[in-house]
Amino acid sequence: MHLYHRDLGGSGNPPLIILHGFLGSSRNWQTVGRDLSQWFHVYALDLRNHGQSPWADTQDYAVMAADILTWMSENELSSAHFIGHSMGGKLAMYLACYHPEVLQRLVVVDIAPKKYPPAHTVDFNAMHSVALENTSSRSAAEKQMEEWIEDDLLRQFLLTNLGRGEEGKLKWIVNLSVLEKYSSILEQSPLKAADRYDGEVLLLIGGKSSYFAEGDEAIVTRHFPSAEIHQIEESGHNPHFDTRNEFVSKVQSFLLSD
């Protein structure tokens, strides 16, 4: 598996690797990544079955971690800082516990190492509702999705996965069938009870998000005893969009602190 990545510029060692969330891609991190390139050489990856990376028949944290290690080897990176958002945050936590040698510092964005209830059924239904053979524009595709999703921003996010294939016809660039099949596995905790990482971790959570609940702090510190947990009050699940300046400031301060 040879993952696609965006080199967002910058310099310095260690570099910074960004891992996106479920149904996301490196595209979602271009602006914040370039902000952070003032201090780090920033790479944003497309995970398997997402964005411009290849498709495969499996999708769990072990195989995604192996993909990351392969990519680092191909790019001659022995270690890096990591930012992981949502599913990418769970993946980064898995890497920290099972491959700690490749991490310098870790930023986890709005996710805990726990089991979550199904959250993407409506997303899949909306995407499947688009009659691609008879749809010629993104606006027409969005119109078909309105029956399932009222939130304009969520529809726009999902539509970032709509591209054009041969002869300019619309197609989903994510592997919907595999992601739908493995979504329940990805909603599980990536860690076992005894898994632990003693390195430096910052967990940034959205004050308006439902992804971090009462009791989750104890779950986090059980696996990551040195973790700092900071709530960004005005943010939802996507602080890199909702409160970009505060997000960048918190990440920069943590990664560069003595």
Q: Based on the domain organization, do 21 and 34 belong to the same domain?
A: yes
**Measured over all CA atoms, what is the biggest interatomic distance in the chain, rounded to whole angstroms?**
57
CA distance 258 to 255: 9
- Which of 83, 25, 86 is CA-nearest to residue 51? 25
Q: Based on the domain organization, do 196 and 73 belong to the same domain?
A: yes
* pLDDT computed for residue 199 by the predictor: 97
Q: Based on the domain organization, do 30 and 106 belong to the same domain?
A: yes
Q: Based on the domain organization, do 98 and 206 belong to the same domain?
A: yes
Q: Based on the domain organization, do 26 and 89 belong to the same domain?
A: yes
Q: Based on the domain organization, do 50 and 127 belong to the same domain?
A: no
Number of domains in the chain: 2
The fraction of the chain above a pLDDT of 70, given in percent, is 100
Q: Residue 63 sits in a domain of what CATH number?
A: 3.40.50.1820
Rounded to the nearest integer, the mean pLDDT of the chain is: 96
Domain end call among 165, 181, 197: 181
* pLDDT computed for residue 167 by the predictor: 81
* pLDDT computed for residue 92 by the predictor: 98
The CA–CA distances, whole Å, from 133 to 123, 136, 143, 187 equal: 20, 8, 15, 32
Domain end call among 166, 181, 196: 181
Q: Based on the domain organization, do 139 and 199 belong to the same domain?
A: no
Segments in the chain below pLDDT 70: none
Q: Based on the domain organization, do 36 and 160 belong to the same domain?
A: no
Q: pLDDT tens for residues 164-212?
A: 987 889 999 999 999 999 999 999 999 999 999 999 999 999 999 999 9
Q: Based on the domain organization, do 88 and 193 belong to the same domain?
A: yes
* pLDDT computed for residue 197 by the predictor: 98
Domain end call among 181, 210, 230: 181
**Pairing, β 162-164 against β 170-172:** antiparallel
* pLDDT computed for residue 166 by the predictor: 79
Q: What is the CA radius of gyration of the chain?
A: 18
Q: Based on the domain organization, do 87 and 126 belong to the same domain?
A: no
| Global pTM value | 0.97
Q: pLDDT tens for residues 123-145?
A: 999 999 999 999 999 999 999 99
* pLDDT computed for residue 30 by the predictor: 97
Q: Based on the domain organization, do 239 and 202 belong to the same domain?
A: yes
Domain that holds residue 249: 5-117+188-256
* pLDDT computed for residue 258 by the predictor: 84
* pLDDT computed for residue 220 by the predictor: 98
Q: Based on the domain organization, do 205 and 250 belong to the same domain?
A: yes
DSSP H helical ranges for the chain: 30-36, 61-74, 87-98, 121-128, 138-145, 152-159, 176-186, 216-223, 239-242, 244-256
Cα dihedral 187, 190, 196, 197 sign: negative
